Amino acid sequence: MSAVDAKATAAPVERYQAAFDARWQGNDELTALRRAALDRFLSTGFPTQRDEAWKYTNLRRLETRSFTSADASALDAHQPDWLTTTGTRIALVNGHWLPALSSQTAQPPGVTVLTLKQWLQRDPAAVASYLKEHDQLTGNALEQLNLAFFEDGVVVNLADNTILDEPIYIVHQSTTAAAGRMSHPRIVVRAGRNSRATIVEHYLGANETEYFTNSVTRFEVAAGGAIAHFRVQQEAPRAFHIGHIQTRLAKDARYCVHDIQLGASLGRTGITGLLEGAGSHAALFGLFAPMGNQHLDAHTHLDHIAPHTTSEEDYRGIAGGRGRGVFNGKIIVRPDAQKIDSRQSSRNLLLSATAEIDTKPELEIYANDVKCSHGATTGQLDATALFYLRSRGLSESDARAALIRAFAESILSTIDLAPVRAALEKQIDERFKLANEAKA
C-alpha cells in the first residue's frame, strides 16, 4: 500500500495530524500552543449535528476531504471582483500575504497595520501571550483548528482617540494552486478608547477549485470605540468556508457588521458579540443566498453581559434551486443585565420548492427588566406582485429579479460604504438573473 493510499484511508482527524506534522515542527512556545490546539481539535473532531449549534449543518462532506496547508502562491494581478476601496488593501493569497498586490496608504498617527507574520517576527512572545489569553481555552473545534494551522493574517491596532476614515480592505483570494489546500487566516483588531475604523473582509476563489478556508476574526473595542465591519463571503462554488467572528465591546462601544454570504459549496459564519460594557451596542445585518446545492449557515450569538446594552439584528435569506440556508440567532441576557433592548428579525425567501431555510431564534433571558423582540418569516415571491410587474411588460425573469432585489435591498440599503454596496447589488442582480434564466 502506498503512502497516498494510507493517507486517504486514515480517519479524518488523523489526516489533520499528518498535515500538522508535515507543516509544524519545533519546540518553541507558539508551536506548543499550536500542538495543544490541534490536540483539542483531535479530541473532539468536527462538530456533528448532535451538537445544537450545528443541528442544521452537516460537516460530513468537509470531514471526508483531506486538506493540507496551502503554500504561499503568486498571483499576477488584482482580480476583477476585488473591491475598489480607498485606503489600505491587504491581499492574502491562499492564506499568505502578497505584498505585490497590497497597498498601504500612510496611516494617521496611532494606527498600526501589520500582517500577522510581521507581528510574529517582531514579537513572537507577544503573539503567543495574546493567543494564550484569547484563544487557548475558548472557541469551538474549528477555531482550535485555525489556531493550530494559521499562517498569516492581519493585525490592526488603533490608539485611543484615533479616527481612521479610510476602510482597511482585507481581501482573501484562493487561486487554482489552492486545490486540496486549506488556509486559516486570522484577523485581530484592537480598537482603543473612542477610536473608529472600518474593516472590510472579502473572500474569493478560483472557479472549479476545491479548498477550505477557516478564518478567525477578533475585535476588541475599548470604551467609546466604534467598528464598522463588512464581511463578504464570495468563495468559489466548490469551496468550504467557515468564519468565526468574535467581538468584545467595552462601555459605550459600538460594533456594526454586514455579514454577506453568497459563495462556497458549504459556508458558515458564526458571529459572537460580547456586550461587556454598559451602553455598548451591536448591530448585525446579514444576507445569505444559497442557490444550486449550496448550504449557507448564519449563526449569531449575542451575549448581553452588562446592563443598559442594546442590540439589533436583521438577517435575510434567499434560497433557490436545492439551496439550503440556516439562520440561528441566540440572545442571552445575563441575570444582572437589566435595561436591555434587543431586537431580532429573520426574513426568508424561498425561490423553489426544493429550497429550504431553517430559522431558529433562541432567547435566554435571565433578567426581568428587558425588552427583547424577535420575529421570523419564510415565504415565496408574491404572485400578485409578479403578475403586476409582468402586466407592465417585464419578462418573468426581470420581474422575479426585481422582487428578489427588493427583498435584499432592505439589507443592502443599510451599507454605507459605496464600493461594497455597489458590488453587492451587482452580484445579487447577476446571480438571480442567471438563476432565473437557468430555470426558464
Partner 1 sequence: MLSIKNLHALAGEKQVLHGLDLEVGAGEVHAIMGPNGSGKSTLAQVLAGREGYTVTGGSVTYKGKDLLSLSPEERAREGVFLAFQYPVEIPGVNNVYLLKAGLNAIRKHRGESEMDAFEFLTLVREKMKLMQMDESFLNRGVNEGFSGGEKKRNEILQMAVLEPSLALLDETDSGLDIDALRVVANGVNSLRSPDRAIVLVTHYQRLLDYIEPDHVHVLSGGKIIKSGDKSLALELEKRGYDWVKQEAAA
Instruction: List residues near partner 1 by CB under 8 A.
Output: 382-385, 387-396, 398-399, 402-403, 405-407, 409-410
Query: In the complex, what is the shortest distance from the CB of residue 51 to partner 1, in angstroms, rounded to a whole number?
Result: 37
| Smallest gap from residue 178 Cβ to partner 1 (A) | 37
Which residue from 136, 118, 129, 140 is spatially nearest to 35, judged by alpha carbons?
136
Query: How far does CA 361 lie from the centroid of its chain?
Result: 19
Smallest gap from residue 213 Cβ to partner 1 (A)? 32
Choice between 358 and 425, CB closer to partner 1: 425
Supply the minimum distance, in Å, between the C-beta of residue 392 and partner 1: 4
* One-letter amino acid for residue 312 of the chain: E
**Residue (274 or 350) nearer to partner 1, CB:** 350
For 97-108, give one letter per residue: b (16+ CB within 10 A) or e.
bbeebbeeeebe
Least distance between partner 1 and beta carbon 234 (Å): 22
Please report how close the Cβ of residue 289 comes to partner 1 at its closest, in angstroms. 16
Rounded Cα gap, residues 171 and 270, in angstroms: 19
The minimum distance between CB 19 and partner 1, in angstroms, equals 47
Name the grid cell of 87. 485606503
Q: Which is nearer to partner 1, 14 or 398 (CB)?
A: 398
Query: Can you list the positions of beta strands (E) in 235-382?
Result: 240-249, 254-261, 266-275, 281-288, 295-304, 310-319, 324-333, 340-350, 356-365, 370-380
Residue placing its CB nearer to partner 1 in the complex, 366 or 387: 387
Q: Which is nearer to partner 1, 166 or 398 (CB)?
A: 398
Helix and strand numbers (H, E) in the chain are 10, 21
**Distance in Å, CB of 368 to partner 1, minimum:** 37
Inter-residue contact 154 to 170 (CB < 8 Å)? yes
CB of 329 to partner 1, least distance (A): 23
Nearest by Cα to 311 from 281, 352, 351: 281
Between residues 249 and 412, which has the closer beta carbon with respect to partner 1?
A: 412
Residue 298 half-sphere exposure toward CB, CA atoms < 13 A: 32
Beta bridge pairs of residue 319: 350
User: Considering the complex, what minimum distance in angstroms separates the CB of residue 413 from partner 1?
Assistant: 9
Nearer to partner 1, 218 or 400 (CB): 400
Report the SS3 class of residue 191: strand
How near is the Cβ of 419 to partner 1 at its closest, in Å? 22
Residue 13 burial (10 A CB sphere; 0-12, 13-18, 19+): middle
Closer by beta carbon to partner 1, 58 or else 378: 378
> Cβ closer to partner 1: 159 or 386?
386
Instruction: Identify the sign of the CA torsion 240, 237, 188, 298.
Output: negative
Closer residue to partner 1 (CB): 236 or 399: 399
Distance CA 421, CA 415 (A): 6
**Cβ-based neighbours of 278, under 8 Å, separated by 6 or more:** 251, 252, 306, 307, 308, 309
For residues 337 and 389, which CB has a smaller minimum distance to partner 1 in the complex?
Answer: 389
Q: How many CB atoms lie within 10 A of CB 356?
A: 18
- Taking the C-alpha atoms of residue 83 and residue 71, their distance in angstroms, rounded to an integer, is 24
